[in-house]
């Protein structure tokens, strides 16, 4: 496990100073039920916003992520527009592996694509640790954002080691992650080395955001749905716990989210987190039951319904909020990310509705 985490947050941190400690989001993530139901959206910053598309003209995705002024402004755009209860820092889960020297770019319409996939022990041996100084643009972007958000908390995030490993081994997006799952079983030593490296790189990325002012952290495991429960518990969960350990002692609420994670929800919770994000595939009260009824839940509006008639969407949101009452607390969110062709006014309307419930 990581042994370098700071024992406490800096005195100027929004949580340490009390600035965001009483916010609806932080209270909910800590198991309280504030008067206002907190709501934010995964991928709320980005392609659904015309102001984002205008700002990004001529700038590559990863270049925008590493420009503190740009990443901060993009993070703030949906908070201004939708009045959500949190910002989530604009970046990408492959940013830390790029900063560690791995050749990767975001290809429009496809996603992260590596120059050279990592598929052997010799490939893994070439990977280098992440220099903490390389995270300076991330820390600066977070600090700029936190200064503007004031009492609204910022969520830091990182990709879970398995999802990063899936990209590294496959060389890009994959439907079934066959190569990654094959490596997991055929060469456990190489798998261990790769996942350990990924856990430390992504953990350092998350830690930098927390220390710079983020009031919560979310670990994304986008491809966890391709795993059996046994494989997750035996061959993935220990590395997610290692990634989380990089923020041990900092006492910020933690969220763990995975797509297609219905069979592994409790195991995801057990890696060391306060709240579990639930995708759209199972009802929120069933997710809470699988979690034992004592875990904060986040979710789980179906992104497809963002383009349904408002009465249909409104009924869906109200149903989710009702089901969320089965958990100690609930953060309203999507069951995955905002689709690029979503009408932004629909998101604003959901926030307005949520704040009346």
d(CA 261, CA 270): 13
pLDDT of residue 175: 82
pLDDT of residue 7: 58
Q: Give yes or no: 52 in active site.
A: no
Q: Are 303 and 267 in contact (CB under 8 A)?
A: no
* Cα of 108 vs its chain's centroid, Å: 21
Structural domain contains residue 5 = no
Structural domain contains residue 37 = no
pLDDT for 357 beyond 60: yes
Residues 6+ apart with CB under 8 A from 164: 93, 94, 97, 198, 201, 202
pLDDT for 1 beyond 50: no
Q: Which two tokens stand for residue 158?
A: 């990182």
- Share above pLDDT 70 across residues of the chain, in percent, rounded to a whole number: 98
Q: Give yes or no: 167 in active site.
A: yes
Q: Give yes or no: 181 in active site.
A: no
User: Residue range 19-32: average pLDDT?
Assistant: 97
Condensed to tens digits (0 to 9), the pLDDT of residues 108-129 reads 888 899 999 999 999 999 999 9
Given the residues 27, 52, 85, 92, the one annotated as active site: 92
Structural domain contains residue 106 = yes
Q: Which two tokens stand for residue 188?
A: 């456990």
d(CA 131, CA 86): 29
Q: Show the domain range for 133.
A: 24-30+59-278
User: Residue range 272-292: average pLDDT?
Assistant: 97
Given the residues 30, 33, 56, 289, the one annotated as active site: 56
Q: Give yes or no: 92 in active site.
A: yes
Given the residues 43, 144, 181, 323, the one annotated as active site: 43
* Cα of 13 vs its chain's centroid, Å: 20
Q: Which two tokens stand for residue 95?
A: 């940013």
- Specify the 3-state DSSP secondary structure of 154: strand
Number of domains in the chain: 1
Structural domain contains residue 96 = yes
Q: Which two tokens stand for residue 267?
A: 């195991």
User: Residue range 275-283: average pLDDT?
Assistant: 97
Condensed to tens digits (0 to 9), the pLDDT of residues 249-265 reads 999 999 999 999 999 99
Model's pTM, two decimal places? 0.95
CATH number (domain holding residue 207): 3.20.20.210
Structural domain contains residue 100 = yes
Structural domain contains residue 214 = yes
Structural domain contains residue 248 = yes
Q: Are 320 and 354 in contact (CB under 8 A)?
A: no
Q: Give yes or no: 47 in active site.
A: yes
Per the prediction, the chain carries an average pLDDT of: 95
Given the residues 52, 167, 232, 239, the one annotated as active site: 167
Neighbours of 103 (CB within 10 A): 10
Condensed to tens digits (0 to 9), the pLDDT of residues 205-241 reads 999 999 999 999 999 999 999 999 999 999 999 999 9
pLDDT for 6 beyond 90: no
Structural domain contains residue 218 = yes
Condensed to tens digits (0 to 9), the pLDDT of residues 292-350 reads 999 999 999 999 999 999 999 999 999 999 999 999 999 999 999 999 999 999 999 99
């Amino acid at each position: 496990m990581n042994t370098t985490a700071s024992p406490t947050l800096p005195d100027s941190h929004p949580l340490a100073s009390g600035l965001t400690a009483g916010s609806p989001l932080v209270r909910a993530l800590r198991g309280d039920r504030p008067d206002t139901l907190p709501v934010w959206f995964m991928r709320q910053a980005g392609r659904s916003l015309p102001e984002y598309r205008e700002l990004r003209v001529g700038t590559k995705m990863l270049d925008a992520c590493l420009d503190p002024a740009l990443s901060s402004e993009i993070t703030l755009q949906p908070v201004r527009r939708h009045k959500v209860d949190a910002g989530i820092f604009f970046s990408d889960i492959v940013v830390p592996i790029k900063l560690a020297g791995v050749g990767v770019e975001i290809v429009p319409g496809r996603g992260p694509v590596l120059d050279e996939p990592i598929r052997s022990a010799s490939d893994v041996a070439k990977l280098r640790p992440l220099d903490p100084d390389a995270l300076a643009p991330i820390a600066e972007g977070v600090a700029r954002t936190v200064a503007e958000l004031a009492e609204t908390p910022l969520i830091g995030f990182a990709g879970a080691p398995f999802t990063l490993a899936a990209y590294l081994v496959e060389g890009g997006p994959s439907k079934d992650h066959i190569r990654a799952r094959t490596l997991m079983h055929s060469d456990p030593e190489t798998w261990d080395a790769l996942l350990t490296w990924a856990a430390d790189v992504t953990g350092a990325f998350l830690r930098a955001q927390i220390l710079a002012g983020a009031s919560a952290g979310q670990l994304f495991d986008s491809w966890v749905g391709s795993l059996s429960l046994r494989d997750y518990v035996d061959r993935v969960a220990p590395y997610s716990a290692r990634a989380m350990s990089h923020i041990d002692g900092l006492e910020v609420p933690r969220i763990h989210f995975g797509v297609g994670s219905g069979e592994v929800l409790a195991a995801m919770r057990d890696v060391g987190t306060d709240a579990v994000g639930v995708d759209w595939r199972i009802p929120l009260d069933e997710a809470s039951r699988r979690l034992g009824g004592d875990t904060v839940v986040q979710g789980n509006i179906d992104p497809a319904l963002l383009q349904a008639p408002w009465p249909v969407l409104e009924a869906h949101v109200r149903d989710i909020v009702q089901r969320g009452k089965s958990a100690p607390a609930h953060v309203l969110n999507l069951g995955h990310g905002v689709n690029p062709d979503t009408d932004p006014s629909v998101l604003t309307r959901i926030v307005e509705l949520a704040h009346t419930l």
